[in-house]
């Protein structure tokens, strides 16, 4: 509809001799491309950018169109940051902690072991200074970063045998990537990475003893519950927030109303993905638990948890000493968590304690 208006206006403006600057800016159609880390069917991760794109197109009446390319299209699942920075893509959808090798300061904007829960972390992002710190970390790369959807508290993983002590962990082979993998390595595990398509077979054959994935909603399609009966609760990713990346120069070229439409659509699709995954996990666990009543949900014993915390703290101390901005962000998170956790305890935690 607006494209038609634009054409009419250009024609008539030429005839009337009226400058059409204002209207051409408002009516121009922007065609953008977004690259995601995820495959085309990896729900709910892929739904967040797709829902965002649909909302943007509807709200802008087609003036901003964002094509979402899944990883099978661009063949560079972990090249999102570089492609958005370089301008090959206008936008990306991925996770900030994937870029820690390029810039350690991007690490803490996804989730941290023993860190904030999802609600606490959103409060930190939007009202506790987190967004400002995230833009500060990304500024030198000339990309903008926004929350992109949360998985909620991730499960600690599927284990073939029960873990009763730190000694039980030593020598185990586990697929657990990223910073949590470094913590586990300090506890004596052999940490490996294996392509997702080969994980089931590796776990079934005992090539690995344990693996960490996401939570019931996404784990159910992988089938791990059929072969590893111990499902440990989470400690390492209490609030994994995905990420929208936007090329700063491209963003600045959008008219103000389209900028606002884009920012709002990213924000609501991020919140929505959290709620969608809550729903998926509730349903998946209900089904899994009913079909495989032998699955045991376990919490790591205190001795193990304490050892993980100690290893985690030691790694953080080293990293903070070397990186002032990382220290600033982690200190901000720790102070926010201290305050927010008390409220979490008084509100949902104590309510749940009597209502499980």
- Please state, in angstroms and rounded to a whole number, the distance separating the CA atoms of residues 262 and 255: 11
- Please state, in angstroms and rounded to a whole number, the distance separating the CA atoms of residues 110 and 134: 10
CB of 300 to its own copies, least distance (A): 8
CB of 36 to its own copies, least distance (A): 21
Which residues share a beta bridge with 146? 244
Structure tokens at 201: 């077979």
Q: Which is nearer to its own copies, 177 or 255 (CB)?
A: 255
Q: Which is nearer to its own copies, 140 or 338 (CB)?
A: 338
Please pick, from the candidates 31, 101, 322, 351, the single residue that binds its own copies as defined by CB under 8 A.
351
Q: Which is nearer to its own copies, 1 or 195 (CB)?
A: 1
Residue 334 lies near its own copies (rule: CB under 8 A): no
Kindly report the three-state secondary structure assignment for every residue of 12-56.
HHHHHCCCCHHHHHHHCCEEEEEEECCCCCCCCCCHHHHHHHHHH
Q: Binders of its own copies among 76-95, rule CB under 8 A?
A: none
CB of 223 to its own copies, least distance (A): 19
Buried b (16+ CB within 10 A) or exposed e, 64-96: bebebbbbeebeebebbbebbbeeebbbbbbbb
CB of 333 to its own copies, least distance (A): 13
Residue 104 lies near its own copies (rule: CB under 8 A): no
Only one of the segments 100-108, 200-208, 240-248, 342-350 lies at the binding site for its own copies (rule: CB under 8 A); that segment is 342-350
CB of 266 to its own copies, least distance (A): 10
Q: Which is nearer to its own copies, 178 or 234 (CB)?
A: 234
Strand ranges (DSSP E) for the chain? Answer: 30-36, 64-69, 91-94, 143-150, 157-159, 173-175, 190-192, 210-211, 230-232, 241-247, 296-298
- Please state, in angstroms and rounded to a whole number, the distance separating the CA atoms of residues 345 and 326: 28
Q: What is the DSSP letter of 245?
A: E
CB of 181 to its own copies, least distance (A): 19
Only one of the segments 69-77, 166-174, 252-260, 320-328 lies at the binding site for its own copies (rule: CB under 8 A); that segment is 252-260
CB of 347 to its own copies, least distance (A): 4
Q: Which is nearer to its own copies, 58 or 198 (CB)?
A: 58
Please pick, from the candidates 40, 188, 229, 289, the single residue that binds its own copies as defined by CB under 8 A.
289
- Please state, in angstroms and rounded to a whole number, the distance separating the CA atoms of residues 250 and 204: 47
Please pick, from the candidates 142, 249, 253, 342, the single residue that binds its own copies as defined by CB under 8 A.
342
Q: Binders of its own copies among 113-132, rule CB under 8 A?
A: 114, 117-120, 122-123, 126-128
| Alpha-carbon dihedral angle through residues 206, 209, 211, 215, given to the nearest 10 degrees | 100
Q: Binders of its own copies among 259-278, rule CB under 8 A?
A: 260-261, 264-265, 267-268, 271-272, 274-276, 278
Residue 111 lies near its own copies (rule: CB under 8 A): no
CB of 331 to its own copies, least distance (A): 16
* Max Cα-Cα span within the chain: 84
Answer whether 180's CB lies under 8 Å from 315's CB: no
CB of 101 to its own copies, least distance (A): 28
Q: Which is nearer to its own copies, 51 or 247 (CB)?
A: 51
Going by C-alpha positions, the residue among 241, 219, 78, 211 that lies closest to residue 151 is: 241
Cis, bond preceding 44 (omega within 30 deg of 0): yes
Quote the Cα angle for 209-77-175, to 5°. Answer: 10
Q: Binders of its own copies among 211-250, rule CB under 8 A?
A: 215-216, 233-235, 238
Going by C-alpha positions, the residue among 161, 173, 157 that lies closest to residue 216 is: 157
Q: Binders of its own copies among 165-184, rule CB under 8 A?
A: none
Q: Which is nearer to its own copies, 240 or 247 (CB)?
A: 240
Residue showing tokens 């992002």: 125
Residue 155 lies near its own copies (rule: CB under 8 A): yes
């Amino acid at each position: 509809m607006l494209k038609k208006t634009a054409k009419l206006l250009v024609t008539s403006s030429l005839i009337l001799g009226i400058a059409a600057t204002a209207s051409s800016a408002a009516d121009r159609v922007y065609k953008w491309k977004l690259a995601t880390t995820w495959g085309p069917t990896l729900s709910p991760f892929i739904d967040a950018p797709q829902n965002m794109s649909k909302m943007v197109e509807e709200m802008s009446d087609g003036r901003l169109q964002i094509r979402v390319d899944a990883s099978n299209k661009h063949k560079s699942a972990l090249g999102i940051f570089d492609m958005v920075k370089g301008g090959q893509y206008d936008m990306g959808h991925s996770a900030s902690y994937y870029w820690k090798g390029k810039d350690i300061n991007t690490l803490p904007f996804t989730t941290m072991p023993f860190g904030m829960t999802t609600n606490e972390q959103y409060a930190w992002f939007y009202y506790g200074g987190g967004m400002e710190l995230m833009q500060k970390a990304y500024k030198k790369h000339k990309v903008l970063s926004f929350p992109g959807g949360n998985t909620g508290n991730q499960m600690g993983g599927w284990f073939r045998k029960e873990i009763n002590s730190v000694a039980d962990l030593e020598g185990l082979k586990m697929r657990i990537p990223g910073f949590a993998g470094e913590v586990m390595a300090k506890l004596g595990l052999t940490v490996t990475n294996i392509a997702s398509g080969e994980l089931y077979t590796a776990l079934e054959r005992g090539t690995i003893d344990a693996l960490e994935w996401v939570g019931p909603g996404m784990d159910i399609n992988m089938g791990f519950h059929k072969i590893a009966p111990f499902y440990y609760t989470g400690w390492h990713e209490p609030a994994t927030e995905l990420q929208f990346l936007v090329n700063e120069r491209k963003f600045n070229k959008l008219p103000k109303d389209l900028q606002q439409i884009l920012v709002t659509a990213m924000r609501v699709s991020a919140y929505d993905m959290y709620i969608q995954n809550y729903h998926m996990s509730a349903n998946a666990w209900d089904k899994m638990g009913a079909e495989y009543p032998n699955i045991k949900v376990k919490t790591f014993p205190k001795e193990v948890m304490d050892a993980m915390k100690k290893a985690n703290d030691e790694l953080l101390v080293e990293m903070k000493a070397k990186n002032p901005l990382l220290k600033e962000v982690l200190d901000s998170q720790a102070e926010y968590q201290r305050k927010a956790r008390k409220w979490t305890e008084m509100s949902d935690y104590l309510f749940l304690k009597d209502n499980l």
